[in-house]
């Protein structure tokens, strides 16, 4: 055979073994032998013991999942973009038919070699380093740390009304909104926390506090009433805990509380009426004070027995009379009554009450003597009486007795009450 001389200027056309990628997998390329796949367009060099190793790497583009990558017949070193990551086929699968497809459709067959993301706002690429674009105002660099500087209000996220942004936990959490309750302000109540503070707390801790436009609940539509301060400094319209506080009743009108004996000429049974008081259904009589009191002396100069009617006052009666609807029966120390009764020849009015604790009647006023021959004949007796609140627990009421020995005019009115100290 004639020899071919090859010089520097000799042009030789060289062909390599070729076929499909599947055909490549069926042969073993000799060491140094080249093979070209006509479908995947890859060049392989044989090592004499296998299917050959791919020469060079290939960018497979952007894929949606690893199954798509497997369909592209990736060779070791081939790289692609998946999501925000940059991946490459692991090199350990080179040169073996059994290994070439191993883990080709799962992430385990690839190495993540970097990020494939665009640089967003607030980030800068400087000398191949990705850095935060620090503005020196809202974000600061302190050593190797980023710190929050001055944050302008207009860059804060929107929150619900009456809220403030801040940490809602002692742990390091993203800022959350802290709600402010009605009639509250936001402030420190300890050295390390922020919480709701009521106006009551502010006033109680303030020095010489001044308040304007203060409204006391319960006093609206109640007319002009007094406002009290208890021993704890609380404002109220109830006089609880105040010493010897006198509350007057309404002197007339629908709030009048009392008993009136009428029909002067109606013998022998007088007509007794009341206003806001519950009257007993029957009349009581006694011919001497011993009968009424359980002890005492007989009456002198009185021809007719004392006829009286029992009237019962409860807490609703008293509240209506003094126009304070927060008073309790136990707060009342004394009842103040004004008595006015006719006194004629052999005639007298009568006023008494039932002391519940003592279990006996107490006579308050009665003049059973004959003044026919005295300088005064027909006149009225007027007197002022203070009755202690002697109620028994469970029976919160006061029973008074009003009458006379003849149908003479008599009237008893509640003037006011005294509150316990």
Interacting residues of 119 by C-beta distance below 8 A, sequence separation 6+: 125, 130
User: What mean pLDDT value characterizes the chain?
Assistant: 78
Q: Calculate mean pLDDT across residues 232-259.
A: 69
- Residue 159: both structure tokens together: 């929150």
DSSP 280-330: PSS-EEESBHHHHHSSS-B-SS--S-EEEEEEEE-HHHHHHHHT-TT--GG
Task: Determine the pLDDT at residue 388.
Answer: 93
- Would the pTM count as exceeding 0.85? no
Our CA dihedral for 254, 255, 261, 263, rounded to 10 degrees, sits at -10
Asked if residue 406 has pLDDT above 80, the reply is: no
Strands 306-313 and 284-286: antiparallel
Task: Determine the pLDDT at residue 111.
Answer: 93
Find where tokens 């100069």 sit: 301
Q: Calculate mean pLDDT across residues 121-134.
A: 77
Kind and range of the H or E run holding 23? helix 21-24
279 vs 190, more confident: 279
3-state class percentages of the chain: helix first, strand second, coil last, to nearest 5: 10, 35, 50
How far apart, in Å, do the first and last CA atoms of the chain sit?
Answer: 141
Task: Determine the pLDDT at residue 119.
Answer: 75
Task: Determine the pLDDT at residue 175.
Answer: 57
Task: Determine the pLDDT at residue 375.
Answer: 47
Select from 216, 232, 311 the least CA-distant residue to 272: 311
260 vs 380, more confident: 260
Q: Calculate mean pLDDT across residues 407-414.
A: 84
Contacts made by residues 30-34, CB under 8 angstroms, sequence distance 24+: none
62-120 pLDDT, tens digit per residue, is 999 999 999 998 988 899 999 888 999 988 877 777 788 889 899 999 999 888 777 77
Select from 97, 39, 99, 21 the least CA-distant residue to 89: 99
Asked if residue 385 has pLDDT above 90, the reply is: yes
| Domains along the chain with CATH numbers | 17-115 (no CATH), 120-168+177-191 (no CATH), 247-419 (2.60.120)
CB-based contact 35:52 (threshold 8 Å): yes
Interacting residues of 196 by C-beta distance below 8 A, sequence separation 6+: 180, 181, 184, 185, 186
Task: Determine the pLDDT at residue 87.
Answer: 94
Select from 163, 136, 162, 161 the least CA-distant residue to 150: 136
CB-based contact 301:346 (threshold 8 Å): yes
23-49 pLDDT, tens digit per residue, is 888 888 888 888 898 998 888 888 887
E strand segments, 69-144:
79-82, 85-89, 110-115, 123-126, 129-132, 139-142
Of the listed ranges 4-8, 32-36, 163-167, 308-312, the one predicted with least confidence = 163-167
Residue 420: pLDDT band (50, 70, 90) is confident
Select from 263, 5, 127, 37 the least CA-distant residue to 272: 263
CB-count burial class (<10 Å; 0-12, 13-18, 19+) for 232: exposed
Sheet of 43-45, strands arranged across = 17-19, 34-37, 43-45, 53-54
Please say whether the dihedral angle defined by the alpha carbons of residues 141, 147, 153 and 155, taken in this order, is positive or negative. positive
Range with the largest mean pLDDT of 263-267, 306-310, 417-421 = 306-310
Range with the largest mean pLDDT of 171-175, 300-304, 345-349 = 345-349
Q: Calculate mean pLDDT across residues 312-339.
A: 89
Proportion of the chain above pLDDT 70, given as a percent: 72
């Amino acid at each position: 055979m004639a020899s071919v001389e090859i010089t520097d200027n000799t042009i030789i056309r060289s062909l390599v073994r070729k076929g499909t990628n599947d055909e490549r997998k069926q042969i073993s390329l000799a060491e140094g032998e080249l093979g070209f796949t006509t479908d995947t367009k890859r060049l392989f060099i044989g090592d004499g013991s296998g299917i050959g190793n791919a020469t060079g790497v290939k960018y497979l583009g952007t894929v949606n999942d690893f199954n798509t990558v497997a369909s592209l017949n990736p060779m070791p070193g081939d790289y692609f973009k998946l999501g925000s990551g940059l991946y490459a086929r692991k090199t350990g699968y080179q040169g073996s038919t059994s290994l070439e497809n191993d883990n080709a459709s799962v992430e385990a067959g690839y190495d993540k070699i970097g990020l494939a993301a665009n640089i967003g706002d607030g980030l800068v690429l400087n000398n191949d380093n990705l850095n935060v674009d620090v503005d020196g105002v809202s974000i600061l660099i302190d050593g190797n740390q980023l710190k929050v500087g001055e944050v302008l209000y207009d860059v804060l996220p929107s929150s619900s009304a009456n809220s403030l942004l801040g940490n809602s936990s002692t742990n390091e959490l993203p800022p959350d909104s802290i709600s402010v309750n009605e009639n509250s302000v936001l402030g420190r109540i300890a050295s390390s926390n922020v919480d709701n503070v009521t106006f009551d707390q502010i006033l109680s801790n303030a020095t010489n506090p001044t308040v304007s436009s203060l409204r006391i609940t319960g006093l609206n539509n109640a007319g002009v009433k007094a406002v009290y301060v208890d021993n704890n400094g609380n404002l109220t319209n109830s006089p609880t805990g105040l010493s010897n506080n006198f509350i007057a009743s309404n002197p007339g009108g629908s709030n009048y509380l009392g008993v009136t004996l009428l029909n002067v000429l109606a013998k022998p049974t007088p007509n007794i009426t009341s206003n806001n008081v519950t009257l007993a259904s029957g009349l009581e009589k006694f011919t001497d004070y011993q009968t009424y009191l359980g002890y005492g002396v007989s009456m002198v100069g009185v021809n007719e027995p004392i006829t009286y009617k029992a009237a019962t006052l409860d807490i609703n009666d008293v509240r209506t009379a003094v126009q304070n609807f927060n008073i309790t029966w136990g707060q009342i120390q004394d009842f103040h009554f004004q008595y006015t009764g006719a006194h004629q020849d052999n005639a007298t009015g009568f006023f008494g009450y039932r002391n519940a604790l003592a279990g006996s009647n107490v006579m308050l006023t009665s003049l059973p003597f004959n003044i026919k021959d005295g300088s005064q004949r027909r006149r009225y007796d007027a007197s002022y009486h203070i009755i202690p609140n002697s109620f028994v627990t469970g029976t919160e009421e006061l029973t008074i007795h009003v009458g006379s020995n003849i149908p003479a005019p008599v009237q008893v009115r509640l003037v006011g009450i005294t509150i316990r100290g």
